[in-house]
């Protein structure tokens, strides 16, 4: 990891501190392209492609179009899990889980300019991530609340967000079950960046939904980003 990649990641959230994730199952009548286009038009500048219930060829074709789209908007495209796909479409980086390739190997494959994120679900995993500050750029913290996206994962609660704020040596994204009626508590717990999946992707108007989410945090931009 370089200081440049970390700042590149954080700078993308200066106006809208929401990390976008695709979820076609939450909007089955729409294409992934349409979902991402609406995210970008609403001000989101980091999008993770996460579509596992499709073929490798379909993922490749979708990501090729998303690479051009995000480039046109000056946004970052991250690929969930599939390092080979990230390489093939020249994505900005990947987001990996605890059971995926080790971060050190992912860094060797993608090189120093790629953005690498790692999911964490416990204090122990966060502390291990702290030892990888030279390898990864940010961590995911969650699921904060119970979520249908990962029904078998236990919610870590706001306490883990508070712990991450105090102890993480890396920028973090709070994720999991975050909605309009809970986003305030997540920011209050110390998050500067949040991920809203189902409520955002399924919204009739993403722009209106983002305004609604942000209205719950009147002093949103007073939150301090990692330096």
Residue ranges of the annotated binding site are: 48-52, 80-81, 100, 119, 147-150, 177, 197-198
User: Which stretches of the chain are assigned E, i.e. beta strand?
Assistant: 18-21, 46-49, 76-80, 93-96, 115-120, 138-141, 172-175, 194-195
Q: Which two tokens stand for residue 2?
A: 């370089």
Residue 23 CB burial class (10 angstroms; 0-12, 13-18, ≥19): middle
| Contact between 202 and 171 (Cβ < 8 Å) | no
Q: Which residues are annotated as a binding site for Mg(2+)?
A: 81, 100
Please state, as a whole number, how many other Cβ atoms lie within 10 Å of the Cβ of residue 227: 6
Cβ partners under 8 Å of residue 21, min gap 6: 47, 48, 50, 80, 175, 195, 197, 201
Give the C-alpha separation, 105 to 110, whole Å: 9
Q: What tokens appear for 209 in the block?
A: 């939904």
CB–CB of 11/41 below 8 Å? Answer: no
Tracing tokens 């990230």 back to the chain, one arrives at 86
Report whether 116 contacts 137 (CB < 8 A). Answer: yes
């Amino acid at each position: 990891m370089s200081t440049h990649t970390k700042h590149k990641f954080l700078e993308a959230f200066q106006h809208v501190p929401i990390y976008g994730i695709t979820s076609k199952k939450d909007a089955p009548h729409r294409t992934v392209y349409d979902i991402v286009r609406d995210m970008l038009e609403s001000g989101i500048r980091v999008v993770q492609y996460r579509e596992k219930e499709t073929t490798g060829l379909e993922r490749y074709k979708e990501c090729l179009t998303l690479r051009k789209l995000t480039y046109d908007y000056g946004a970052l495209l991250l690929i969930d899990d599939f390092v080979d796909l990230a390489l093939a479409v020249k994505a900005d980086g990947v987001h990996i889980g605890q059971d995926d390739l080790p971060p050190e190997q992912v860094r060797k494959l993608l090189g120093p300019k790629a953005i690498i994120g790692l999911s964490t679900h416990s204090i122990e995993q966060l502390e291990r991530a702290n030892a990888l500050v030279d390898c990864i750029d940010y961590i995911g913290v969650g699921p904060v609340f119970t979520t249908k996206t990962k029904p078998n994962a236990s919610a870590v609660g706001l306490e883990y967000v508070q712990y991450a704020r105090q102890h993480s040596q890396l920028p973090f994204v709070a994720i999991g079950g975050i909605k309009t009626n809970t986003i305030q508590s997540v920011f209050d717990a110390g998050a500067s960046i949040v991920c809203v999946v189902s409520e955002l992707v399924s919204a009739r108007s993403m722009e209106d939904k983002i305004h609604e989410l942000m209205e719950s945090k009147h002093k949103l931009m007073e939150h301090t980003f990692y330096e």
